[in-house]
C-alpha cells in the first residue's frame, strides 16, 4: 500500500511536469496554430543558460534563476518575431515541420556556444540531497518544489486568463483571430505575449526536470517532450485543463507501469527496462486515440486553418 502511494506521488510529480509542458504546447497551438516540436529545445536552451551561469561565473542559484527566466522571456519574444510571425499564414503542417528545424537550430547554437553540454554534465542546485518525509512517504525537496510551483503557476495562470483583460484577449484571439482583430485587439502583441509566456513555462519545466535528474545535456528534454505531447493530445489539444490532466495521466501511467513491471521478465526480456515502459505508453496512447480521436477531454473537433 505504501509502495503504491509512493508511486502515485512520484507519478503526480512527473505528471505535473508533463502537464506544465503540455500546457505551453496547447497555449501556443490554440492561439497561433503552431504544433511546437521545438518546445523541448526551448526549455533545454534556457536550462543550459542557467547551467552556464551556475558553473561559469558561479552566480548564486536564485539570481541565476531570475536571469534565466528573463532570458526565457527574451528567447520567446525572439522566436515569435523571427520564426513564428513570418510563418503565421503558412499551413499547419509547414509550421509544425519548421519547428523541427528550429529545434535543431537551437540545439546547434547551444552546442556551439557551450560545447561542454554535448555530453552529460552535472546540474548543480541547492536542493540536491534534501528530502521531505510524511509518515513513511518520501518526497525529495525538488519534487516538493515541483508540486508547489505547479499549483502556484496554475492558479496564477487561471486568474490571468479568466480575470484580466489581456488574458481574456488571449482567449478571444485563440477562439477567432479575425473577430479579435475586429474588436481592435492588437493580435500581434497577443502572439508575442503567448510565446513569451509559453517560453517561461518551458523554462520552469526544463529547470525543474534538470534539478530532478541532476544530469543534463543539450538533448535532455527530447524524451520528455514526446511524453508531454502525448499528454497534450490526450487532453484534446484545445483545452488548457485537458493538457494538465493529460500530462498528469501520462506521468501516473509511467510510474505505475514502472512499479508493476519491475523485477518481471518475459523470457530473456527484462520488463523493468524503461524502454518497455515507454513502448507500452505509446501503444496505450495509439489505442486511446483509435477509440477517442479527439483525446480524452477534447470537446470540439480539432480544426485550425
Site stretch for other proteins (CB under 8 A), options 177-185, 191-199, 205-213, 255-263: 177-185
CA dist., res. 10 & res. 139, Å (int)? 8
Nearest Cα to Cα of residue 196 among 35, 77, 45, 283: 77
Query: How many Å separate Cα 302 from the centre of its chain?
Result: 21
Among 135, 178, 301, 305, binds other proteins (CB under 8 A): 178
Among 81, 171, 294, 304, binds other proteins (CB under 8 A): 171
| Alpha helices by DSSP H, the chain | 2-32, 39-55, 61-79, 92-113, 141-163, 165-175, 177-182, 187-213, 222-234, 240-261, 274-291
Nearer to other proteins, 178 or 266 (CB): 178
Q: Least distance in Å: CB of 35 to other proteins?
A: 20
CA dist., res. 282 & res. 176, Å (int)? 33
Whose cell is 544530469? That residue is 215
SS3 state of residue 270: strand
Residue 91 in contact with other proteins, rule: CB under 8 A: no
Residue 88 in contact with other proteins, rule: CB under 8 A: no
Among 186, 223, 274, 293, binds other proteins (CB under 8 A): 186
Q: Least distance in Å: CB of 235 to other proteins?
A: 15
Judge whether 273 and 211 are in contact, CB under 8 Å.
Answer: no
Residue 303 in contact with other proteins, rule: CB under 8 A: no
CA dist., res. 6 & res. 12, Å (int)? 10
Site stretch for other proteins (CB under 8 A), options 89-97, 117-125, 184-192, 250-258: 184-192
Nearer to other proteins, 168 or 256 (CB): 168
Residue 190 in contact with other proteins, rule: CB under 8 A: no
Residue 245 in contact with other proteins, rule: CB under 8 A: no
CA dist., res. 55 & res. 59, Å (int)? 8
**Site mask, other proteins, residues 119-158, x = CB under 8 A?**
----------------------------------------
CA angle 178, 180, 186 (to 5 degrees): 110
Query: Hey, what's the cell of 112?
Result: 556551439
Query: Hey, what's the cell of 100?
Result: 523541427
Site stretch for other proteins (CB under 8 A), options 48-56, 78-86, 170-178, 248-256: 170-178
Residue 159 in contact with other proteins, rule: CB under 8 A: no
Among 176, 213, 265, 273, binds other proteins (CB under 8 A): 176
Residue 164 in contact with other proteins, rule: CB under 8 A: no
Applying CB under 8 A, which residues contact other proteins? 165, 168-169, 171-172, 174-176, 178-186
Amino acid at each position: 500500500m505504501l509502495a503504491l502511494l509512493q508511486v502515485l506521488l512520484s507519478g503526480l510529480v512527473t505528471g505535473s511536469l508533463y502537464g506544465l509542458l503540455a500546457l505551453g504546447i496547447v497555449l501556443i497551438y490554440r492561439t497561433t496554430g503552431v504544433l511546437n516540436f521545438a518546445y523541448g529545445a526551448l526549455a533545454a536552451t534556457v536550462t543550459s543558460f542557467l547551467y552556464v551561469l551556475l558553473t561559469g561565473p558561479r552566480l548564486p542559484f536564485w539570481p541565476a534563476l531570475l536571469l534565466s527566466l528573463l532570458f526565457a522571456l527574451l528567447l520567446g519574444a525572439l522566436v515569435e518575431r523571427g520564426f513564428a510571425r513570418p510563418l503565421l499564414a503558412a499551413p499547419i503542417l509547414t509550421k509544425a515541420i519548421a519547428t523541427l528545424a528550429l529545434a535543431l537550430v537551437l540545439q546547434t547554437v547551444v552546442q556551439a556556444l557551450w560545447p561542454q553540454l554535448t555530453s552529460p554534465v552535472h546540474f548543480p542546485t541547492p536542493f540536491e540531497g534534501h528530502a521531505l518525509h510524511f509518515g513513511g512517504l518520501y518526497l525529495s525537496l525538488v519534487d516538493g518544489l515541483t508540486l508547489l510551483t505547479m499549483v502556484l503557476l496554475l492558479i496564477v495562470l487561471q486568474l490571468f486568463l479568466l480575470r484580466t483583460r489581456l488574458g481574456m484577449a488571449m482567449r478571444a484571439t485563440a477562439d477567432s483571430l479575425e473577430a479579435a482583430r475586429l474588436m481592435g485587439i492588437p493580435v500581434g502583441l497577443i502572439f508575442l505575449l503567448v510565446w513569451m509566456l509559453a517560453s517561461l513555462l518551458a523554462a520552469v519545466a526544463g529547470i525543474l526536470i534538470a534539478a530532478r535528474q541532476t544530469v543534463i545535456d543539450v538533448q535532455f528534454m527530447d524524451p520528455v517532450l514526446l511524453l508531454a505531447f502525448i499528454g497534450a493530445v490526450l487532453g484534446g489539444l484545445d483545452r488548457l485543463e485537458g493538457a494538465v490532466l493529460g500530462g498528469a495521466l501520462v506521468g501516473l501511467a509511467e510510474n505505475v507501469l514502472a512499479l508493476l513491471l519491475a523485477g518481471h521478465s518475459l523470457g530473456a526480456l527484462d520488463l523493468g527496462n524503461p524502454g518497455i515502459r515507454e513502448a507500452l505508453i505509446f501503444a496505450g496512447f495509439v489505442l486511446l486515440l483509435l477509440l477517442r480521436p479527439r483525446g480524452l477531454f477534447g470537446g470540439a473537433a480539432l480544426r485550425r486553418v
